[in-house]
Structure 1
């Protein structure tokens, strides 16, 4: 597996699992009426952010987007979002993307990384981020409308770099 910057040609290969994950409604609060073109700016970051893909040959296994959590006086804190093709689950793609995002944030001088909205019922993600050194610094109650569990909390997770 190689992690590299995403290109315009990668978006049509990210879109199928992006669409599947958003439609499942278990981890992201993106609008549900997105199509190939309207979803692109939600995921493909512009500088100073970046989007990467984890690839194996020509296959995109997952993707991450990262950049400043806030502009101006909050721009020293990074954030990131991750999606792994459900057919590649359990292969370490999420961990590799997480480690890559943390290394990138350190290398370009961010002081910390903050995830603003990790759905508390997304146990694999919460477990992975804790294993990579993040702590839950708070949970916004009933902030996410989960299709199976109803209103659940969203964790704010943080790690100093």
Structure 2
């Protein structure tokens, strides 16, 4: 597996699993039913942000986007989002992307990384982020409409770099 900068040519490979993950309604509060051009700016970051893909040959396994959490006085803290193609889960793609993003943030001089909205029922992601050094600072209750669990909390997670 190689992690590299995403290009516009990668979007057609990302969009199908982006759509599948958003439609599942379990992890992201992105608008549903977007066509490829409507969805692109939700995932393909512009500078100073960055989007990467994890690939095996020509196959895109997953993707991450990263950048400053807030502009101005909040720009010293990074944030990131991750999607792994459901067909390629269980191969360590999420961990590899998470470690890549942390390495990038350190190299860019960020002071910390904050995840603003990790769905509390996404236990695999919560365990992974805790395993690579994030802590749950708070859980905002009933802030995410989960399709099977109803209203669940969103964790704010943080790691000092």
When normalised by structure 1's length, the TM-score is 1.00
Unaligned runs of 5+ in 1: none
Q: Deviations over 1:95-150 (max 9, x none)?
A: 00000000000001000000000000000000000000000000010000000000
Task: Give 1:129's aligned residue.
Answer: 129
Task: Give 2:64's aligned residue.
Answer: 64
Question: What is the rounded CA distance, in whole Å, between the counterparts of 2:109 and 2:34 in structure 1?
Answer: 34
Unaligned runs of 5+ in 2: none
Task: Give 2:156's aligned residue.
Answer: 156
SS at match of 1:48: coil
The size of the alignment, in residue pairs, is 161
Give me the CA root mean square deviation: 0.3
Q: Which stretches of structure 1, 4 residues or longer, exceed 4 Å deviation after superposition?
A: none
Question: What is the rounded CA distance, in whole Å, between the counterparts of 1:108 and 1:37 in structure 2?
Answer: 30
SS at match of 2:26: coil
Question: What is the rounded CA distance, in whole Å, between the counterparts of 2:81 and 2:159 in structure 1?
Answer: 15
SS at match of 1:152: strand
Task: Give 1:27's aligned residue.
Answer: 27
**How far 1:39 moved relative to its partner?**
0.1
Task: Give 1:76's aligned residue.
Answer: 76
Task: Give 2:14's aligned residue.
Answer: 14
When normalised by structure 2's length, the TM-score is 1.00
**How far 1:33 moved relative to its partner?**
2.4
SS at match of 2:97: helix
**How far 1:44 moved relative to its partner?**
0.2
